[in-house]
Amino acid sequence: NLVEAAIFAIHSTIAVNHPEIATGQAIIAYIDESCLTLAVTQNNNILIVRNIPIVSGSDNNKRRKTRAVRRDRNQRYRGIGVVRTGLENTDSVQEHVAELLTREAEVTWRKVFGEEINQDSKIYLATGGDVSDDLEAAVKENLHCQTVIVEPYAKLKCSPEHNGDAAICVAEGLALRALAPDKTTGINFLEADNADTKRTLDLRKELTICAILVAAIAVVSLAGLFVRLSHLETKYAHIKNEIREIFQRTLPEETNIVNPLVQLEQKLESF
């Protein structure tokens, strides 16, 4: 019931054979014939995974070069020319992959950490074939960080003729995930899909929060009522003073003022 991706399997292989990835930040680069997969890790946890297709300019000219070779069949050193063309194509592909890896690694790193790649960080390379010295040197020079070729047999016993290519790295990682899950990390996509994402309800905590909110609302409401009452009392006293002043200006001979409005009404009725 374990569903894995190649990059997680390779990460498991690296975690076992290169235990230094367990601390700090690192990049895992998995290169096959048509795709570059990048993973950024921190303290042995994968933070982001990107898949970038590899489109080489030499692929676009492949048919034209094949036709050119066919036209040169009568050339004396045709075989040497074909070998030279193949070597040039290989160098071009390696250069293109190095440039692509450098650019996308810098973009991914900035997206995750918001800064340039640290010089003490490491980039782990796993490819579909032997990693050439030129590719390793180009990546190291462009990214200015340590470059490590993934060694799938660094911690495992095997016969010397085995070749540690990317397919072996993936197979070893899948085996480690199944046989030694305590020593590896990964994502079980089936379990993640069926996982219950609902939060467990804490009734006591929820009731406490509700009680605090109700008490806060009550306090704010009472404070508002007292403020409004004080404002009305002040306004009422101000109106009473205005009435008294108007009465005194209208009837200055009245010295005994009890109820200005009633007294003013009686005075008007007497006229």
Domain segments of the chain: what residues? Answer: 6-194, 203-270
Average pLDDT value for residue range 131-152: 81
Instruction: Report the Cα–Cα distance between both ends of the chain, in Å, rounded.
Output: 107
How far apart CA 147 and CA 124 sit, in angstroms, is 6
Q: Does domain 6-194 have CATH number 3.30.420.40?
A: yes
Each as own residue / partner, the long-range contacts of residues 235-240 (CB below 8 Å, 24 or more positions apart, any chain) are none
Could you tell me the pTM of the whole model? Answer: 0.55
Q: Contact, 24 vs 157, CB < 8 A?
A: no
**Structure confidence by residue, pLDDT tens digits, 153-193:** 766 666 555 555 566 777 777 777 666 766 666 665 555 55
How far apart CA 62 and CA 75 sit, in angstroms, is 20
**pLDDT for position 213:** 96
**Structure confidence by residue, pLDDT tens digits, 198-248:** 566 678 888 999 999 999 999 999 999 999 999 999 999 999 888 888 888
Which carries the bigger pLDDT value, residue 137 or residue 3? 137
**pLDDT for position 76:** 40
How far apart CA 267 and CA 251 sit, in angstroms, is 9
How far apart CA 185 and CA 118 sit, in angstroms, is 24
**pLDDT for position 103:** 92
Q: Which residues contact 177 (CB under 8 A, 6 or more apart)?
A: 2, 4, 8, 9, 12, 184, 186
Smallest CA-to-CA distance from 123 within 51, 5, 18 is with 18
User: Residue 137: which H helix or E strand, with range?
Assistant: helix 133-143
